[in-house]
Amino acid sequence: IETTVAGLRAKVGKARILAVLEPRSNTMKLGVMKSALPASLQQADLVFCYQANLGWDAKEALAPIAGKTQVHDDLQQLIDAIVSQAKAGDQVLVMSNGGFGGIHQKLLDALKSNASIF
């Protein structure tokens, strides 16, 4: 996660990065890496975490970066939150080890329907 965010930051410079995370791998679901998440996401401007089916509290784990983080357990609410914060020029980085409930197309469709911001 940290390498991916850092790589995007190096590419986009000062453009805002909206990091969207679904902690889906077995290691993440077990919470093994949860203490590393705040540092891993430090270079993102906003963080959106989907915590459905987690055995630990993502909001608590991300507390060190709470000022720029939203945690949701409903996919549509997560998408709505991202769309409400997205601005022209933003980079939306979606990270998951799975299908993430089809978020890629759903988010693209939602952003297109709110195209007045772009």
Amino acid of residue 87? K
What pLDDT score was predicted for residue 81? 98
Residues present in the chain in total: 118
CA distances from 54 to 12, 14, 34, 57 (A): 31, 32, 11, 7
DSSP 17-69: EEEEE---SHHHHTTTTGGGHHHHTTT-SEEEEE-TT-SS-HHHHTGGGGGGE
Tokens of residue 7, six digits: 């790589």
Contact 56, 34 (CB under 8 A): yes
What pLDDT score was predicted for residue 13? 97
What pLDDT score was predicted for residue 59? 96
The stretches in the chain having pLDDT less than 50 are 118
Q: Are strands 91-95 and 46-50 parallel, antiparallel or unpaired?
A: unpaired
What pLDDT score was predicted for residue 23? 87
Amino acid of residue 61? A
- The structural domains of the chain, ordered by start, are 2-111 (3.90.190.20)
Chain CA centroid to CA 80, Å: 13
What pLDDT score was predicted for residue 116? 58
What pLDDT score was predicted for residue 42? 97
Tokens of residue 68, six digits: 């720029």
